[in-house]
Structure 1
Amino acid sequence: MSRRPTQKDIEEQNEYLLRLQGNLRKAGERAARELAAFPEVEKIALFGSVARPLEKEIPRFREYRQAGIAVYHECKDVDLAVWTRDLSRVREMGKARTKAVNDLHREERIGVAHHRVDIFLIEPGTDRYLGRVCNFNQCPKARKDECQVPGCGETPFVRQHEDFTFDSDALLSDRCILLFDRKADTADA
């Protein structure tokens, strides 16, 4: 049986969860910088739990769950919405994401796996969800069930998830952080 967390344990856990959110946000910002170099990318926004103030909840961690102790939400990944008018270089976008997290690790010693940075592809003008940038190095990847989902890989390296429906409300201005807007950058020039 595990012991009940002390006040110091709770404070350290909350500090860790806030630091994790900050590190994931840095990974998202780095990836956005790399993706902004693609001329077909019109806009990039950070959304999901990494983009909002964390709320406290009873977590999955056994000792906290059993004791009914709430701590900050555990961010698991980065959600980036990328409005792009061309899907022909999606594989290169995946490589840019990998470069961004590798650079972050090399320069700041912050380790975030590339597959924890999800790139949601959005159609400019309609805000229609198109799919996500695939994490595999082949399309389709041999013997991967994920590649059997209807529509997955129809456009190379654009992944579809079974039974997934994108909630466009996640992109409302009060729920996301705009990281790049080509139109605004052009207007400022």
Structure 2
Amino acid sequence: MKRAQIEEQNRYLLRRQREFRQAANVVTQSWMAFPEIEAIAVIGSVAKPLWKEIPRFSDFRRARIEVWHECSDLDLAVWVDSQHRLGELRRKGAAALRQAFEAGLGISVADHQLDVFLFEPGTDRYLGRLCSFNRCPKGNRDCLVPGCGTIPFNKRIADFRPHADLLEPITYSTLYRRDRGLLRSALELPNVDEAG
């Protein structure tokens, strides 16, 4: 495999992480008006400097060539006082992503690529995920998980337990706090040296 191909793949993976970070800013801006939201933070690989790994896609895997980790979705942690407007929250985030795309802001992130983990303020107790379906229950297999939809648009995932380090990045990746407003742009999160 040619060095130029490897470099192009690495540039693409860094651009993709940046695009997810831009999407985090767009969604955060759209959710700041919800008084029940105490805080919003980026978590997962979008929050961290990328690392090199042998990827899952075949050409690079076969050649055992390491490239930057591929961000496939945007993980957000959201602390909510109330879950009564999760459907409205879902719609507002999806609309903000769509409007950013239509405005030509260079963001091509679909609402189903948004993975929102809901937490209880003060305790960090995991409450569930924000469902991306347009109605609840949708009548799909995912909706059959016990407890899913008991609170509309609170998605349950069978046997899911958050890893102990899930919220580790929030010390530097919290974008918004109700008591302080917007804290930072997701574009300010730690990055890799792009020369690598």
Q: Normalising to structure 2: TM-score of the pair?
A: 0.88
- Give distance in 1, aligned partners of 2:171 and 2:74: 14
1:47–1:175 CA contact under 8 A, matched in 2:
no
Equivalent pairs counted in the alignment come to 181
Deviation at 1:85? Answer: 0.2
Q: Which residue of 1 aligns with 2:194?
A: none
Structure 1 runs of 4+ off > 6 angstroms? none
SS at match of 1:170: coil
Partner of 1:99: 95
The correspondence of residues 7-156 of structure 1 with structure 2, limited to 5 A, is 7-107=3-103, 108-142=105-139, 144-156=140-152
2 CA distance for matches of 1:131 and 1:168?
Answer: 15
CA distance in 2, matches of 1:73, 1:104: 25
Equivalents in 2 of 1:118, 1:36: separation in Å? 18
Residues 20 and 173 of structure 1: CA distance in aligned 2, closer, same or farther (over 3 Å): closer
Q: Verify the 8 A CA contact 1:47 1:176 in the aligned structure 2.
A: no
- Provide the alpha-carbon RMSD of the alignment: 1.5
Code of the residue aligned with 1:24 in structure 2: it is F
CA distance in 2, matches of 1:119, 1:89: 14
**Aligned pairs (5 A) from 1:152-167:** 152-167=148-163
65 and 79 in structure 1: CA distance in 2 versus 1, 3 angstrom threshold:
same
- Taking the aligned partners of 1:177 and 1:160, their CA distance within structure 2 comes to 25
- Distance in 1 (CA, whole Å) between partners of 2:106 and 2:51 is 27
Q: Using the TM superposition, give the Cα deviation of residue 184 of structure 1 relative to its aligned residue in structure 2, in angstroms.
A: 2.3
